[in-house]
Amino acid sequence: MKKHLKLGFHDALRVLNSAKKVMVVSHVNPDGDTLGCMLALGLALMQKGKKVLLACQDNVPTRFQYLPGSELVQTECREKVDVAVAVDCGGEKQLGRLRAAFFKARSTVQIDHHDFGDAFGRYRCWIRSVGGRRDRVPSYP
Ligand SMILES: [Mn+2]
């Protein structure tokens, strides 16, 4: 991981720790990557006492509805949040109709594991994939 990206990770943690209300957004036509990341992060933030909105433009596909928290995912968001987090989104277009709500947040964070894509979050962290298809997941202190 490059130094500036690592700094982005710690900045993102600081911003998330100080937030009261957080929105986590998955990309359009959600797959297991984006949903797994959104739900894991969202549930972890809830356990820390944050108010969390889980959002995706499109409904959770039936094959992923067994995932814990998938029933909480909403397809729109009208609330203003302290921090909006985009997960697995290679560009802001992947936020779909949630783009406006995302950029209304006081701060924005972009978490991704792809080496390509556009930077659009105020804080960005790339989690490099290791060991073939199994991605390394950072712990959330
Ligand atoms: Mn994906």
Q: What is the CATH number of the domain that holds 93?
A: 3.90.1640.10
Give the residue numbers spanning the domain of 13.
Answer: 6-126
Asked if the structure places residue 122 within a domain, the reply is yes
**What pLDDT is recorded for position 136?**
46
Nearest of 12, 11, 20, 18 to residue 79 by alpha carbon: 20
d(C-alpha 37, C-alpha 34), whole Å: 5
Structural domain count, the chain:
1
Containing H/E element for 51? strand 51-55
**What pLDDT is recorded for position 73?**
98
List b or e across 88-98, with b for residues whose CB sees 16 or more CB atoms inside 10 angstroms: bbbebebbbeb
**What pLDDT is recorded for position 9?**
79
d(C-alpha 33, C-alpha 89), whole Å: 10
22 within 8 A of 111, measured Cβ to Cβ: no
Asked if the structure places residue 93 within a domain, the reply is yes
Q: Is 18 helix (H, G, I), strand (E, B) or coil?
A: helix
**What pLDDT is recorded for position 128?**
64
d(C-alpha 133, C-alpha 117), whole Å: 19
**What pLDDT is recorded for position 125?**
77
| Ligand 1 mean position, distance from CA 4 (Å) | 24
Provide the phi-psi class of 3: left if phi over 0, else alpha when psi is between -120 and 50, else beta: alpha
Asked if the structure places residue 59 within a domain, the reply is yes
Asked if the structure places residue 40 within a domain, the reply is yes
| Ligand 1 mean position, distance from CA 56 (Å) | 12
| Ligand 1 mean position, distance from CA 103 (Å) | 20
**What pLDDT is recorded for position 90?**
87
| Ligand 1 mean position, distance from CA 72 (Å) | 19
From first to last of the 141 residues of the chain, give the pLDDT tens digit: 445 555 577 888 899 999 999 999 999 999 999 999 999 999 999 999 999 999 999 999 999 999 999 999 999 999 999 999 999 998 999 999 999 999 999 999 999 887 677 888 888 877 765 544 444 444 443
| Ligand 1 mean position, distance from CA 88 (Å) | 5
**What pLDDT is recorded for position 121?**
86
Asked if the structure places residue 27 within a domain, the reply is yes
**What pLDDT is recorded for position 138?**
47
| Ligand 1 mean position, distance from CA 87 (Å) | 8
| Ligand 1 mean position, distance from CA 21 (Å) | 24
Q: pTM of the prediction?
A: 0.86
Quote the DSSP letter at residue 135.
Answer: B
Asked if the structure places residue 131 within a domain, the reply is no
d(C-alpha 62, C-alpha 1), whole Å: 35
Asked if the structure places residue 18 within a domain, the reply is yes
